[in-house]
Amino acid sequence: MRNLRLATALAGAAAIAMAVGACSSGGGGGGGGSGSTSTGTGTGTSNGSLTTINIGEVPFYANIPLALGEKVGIFAHYGLHVNLQPAANVNVIIANLHSGHQQLGFVTTPLLLKADEAGQDVKCVAPLGIANNVNPAYPQNAVMVAKDSSITSLSQLEGKTVGMNQLAGSNELYLQAGVAQAGGNFSNIKLATVPFADMPAALKSGTIQAGFEVQPFITSGEQAGDQRLLADLDSLTSPWTTQCYAATSSYISANTDLMTRFAHAESQAILYAAAHPDDALAEIATVSGLSEAAAKASAPPKIVYTNDLAPSTLIKYANFMTKYNSLTGPALTQDQVAWTAPGEPAKKLLFAAGGKYTG
């Protein structure tokens, strides 16, 4: 298979305004009062100052619980300020974790598992919060084609070029499995690196004949009238954990209190998003880079949230990857790929409307 690297302007992705509004230090009690030194990120102290955590992320709607939690002060309650930093892809984020440029990062499960197989020692710390459920009305992983394309099956992608935000990750694995199930030969498909936001233009120009997309870009592409869905691939890995916020094992060991507070805050942010769905949907523009109008138009009819990291499903995913020769080394263990904070997943929401702590 020949991988084509398109010369795409990543400056657009890097320029996306992802800075989430700073919030107050929040209500009393809880994690905000416990001091913690975080290498390269400052010190959280009992007088209300916040520890900043730099989090690498790919603009994607599943980051909305974190963005909302930061906005209403949930992370501040635990003594934290989360600083979302957009990256071109997950491989860049993993490199940033090891360099110390970022302390946490959005990763997809396949790239996490590949990194761990290679000895890079990266672990899931907390879920993003969007359940990996099959919803035909709002697919999360899909192959899109131009509206007037003659392609009607994944098997017909042989000899064609498919755009992907990230090579050798979850999207490529989904496509490989989907093409195989459709009776096609994946090795005859060309792949090109194209940021999600650039897929419509690449399809329109004919540079690619299909594109692997996620939300909200799937819906916005259909609504624009120039794309149609070729295949919804969510069922391949539902309901396993397919992405998470991750950190290196060495960072977790040196900053266990900080990681525990982050995991608790993220868990509460997810529960808060589930309890305030309209406020959560309002964050789609923040985390995707779409205009307010496009974000509103592409909002899902309903989001199912979960604050359960479900680390055992990471091993199920590893078995899936092994089936398609994406993993070839010794079997990974759950402890190698995930770290779970004490008391997680939380069962009770501790914050009222507006982020007021209720205990």
Q: What sign does the dihedral 283-285-288-294 (CA atoms) show?
A: positive
| Mean pLDDT value across residues 325-334 | 93
Q: Tell the residue number behind the tokens 């392609």, with chain if given.
A: 151
| Mean pLDDT value across residues 317-337 | 94
C-beta separation of 189 from 154 below 8 A: no
Nearest Cα residue to 26 out of 355, 358, 359: 355
pLDDT(67) > 80: yes
> What would the 3-class secondary structure string for 140-197 be?
CEEEEEECCCCCCCHHHHCCCEEEECCCCCHHHHHHHHHHHHCCCCHHHCEEEECCHH
Give the pLDDT band of residue 13 (cuts 50, 70, 90).
Answer: very low
Residue 225 in 3-state DSSP? coil
pLDDT for the residue 48: 59
pLDDT(303) > 90: no
* Neighbouring C-beta atoms of residue 250, cutoff 10 Å: 13
Asked if the domains 16-130+241-355 and 141-236 are classified in one and the same CATH topology, the answer is yes
Give the pLDDT band of residue 36 (cuts 50, 70, 90).
Answer: very low
pLDDT(32) > 80: no
* This model's pTM is above 0.85: no
| Mean pLDDT value across residues 49-75 | 93
pLDDT for the residue 168: 77
> What tens digit of pLDDT does each residue of 158-169 get?
999 999 998 877
* Domain layout of the chain by residue ranges: 16-130+241-355, 141-236
Instruction: Give me the torsion for CA of 184, 185, 188, 191, rounded to 10°.
Output: 80
The dihedrals phi and psi of 72, each to the nearest 5 degrees, come to: -90, -5
pLDDT for the residue 138: 82
Domain 16-130+241-355, CATH 3.40.190.10 — does that match? Answer: yes
| Mean pLDDT value across residues 55-73 | 92
- What number of CA atoms fall less than 13 Å from residue 176's CA on the CB side? 18
pLDDT(142) > 70: yes
The pair of structure tokens assigned to 143 is 């192959």
Please tell me which residue, 248 or 172, carries the higher pLDDT value: 248
Q: 207: Cβ–Cβ under 8 A, 6 or more apart, which residues?
A: 6, 161, 163, 192, 194
Give the pLDDT band of residue 28 (cuts 50, 70, 90).
Answer: very low
pLDDT cut 70: percent of the chain above it: 87
Instruction: Give me the torsion for CA of 331, 336, 337, 342, rounded to 10°.
Output: 140
| Mean pLDDT value across residues 10-31 | 30
pLDDT for the residue 171: 84
Please tell me which residue, 48 or 239, carries the higher pLDDT value: 239
| Mean pLDDT value across residues 249-274 | 97
pLDDT(255) > 60: yes
C-beta separation of 100 from 51 below 8 A: no
pLDDT for the residue 129: 95
pLDDT for the residue 3: 38
Please tell me which residue, 293 or 311, carries the higher pLDDT value: 311
Nearest Cα residue to 264 out of 156, 160, 351, 141: 351
CATH topology classification for 141-236: D-Maltodextrin-Binding Protein; domain 2 (3.40.190)
> What tens digit of pLDDT does each residue of 187-231 get?
999 999 999 889 999 999 999 999 999 888 898 889 888 899 999
Beta strands in the chain (DSSP E): 3-4, 36-38, 42-44, 51-57, 80-86, 104-108, 122-127, 141-146, 161-164, 190-193, 210-214, 227-232, 243-248
pLDDT(42) > 60: no
Q: How far apart are CA 167 and CA 193, in angstroms?
A: 7
pLDDT for the residue 22: 28
Nearest Cα residue to 114 out of 340, 335, 329: 329
The pair of structure tokens assigned to 211 is 């594109």
pLDDT for the residue 2: 32
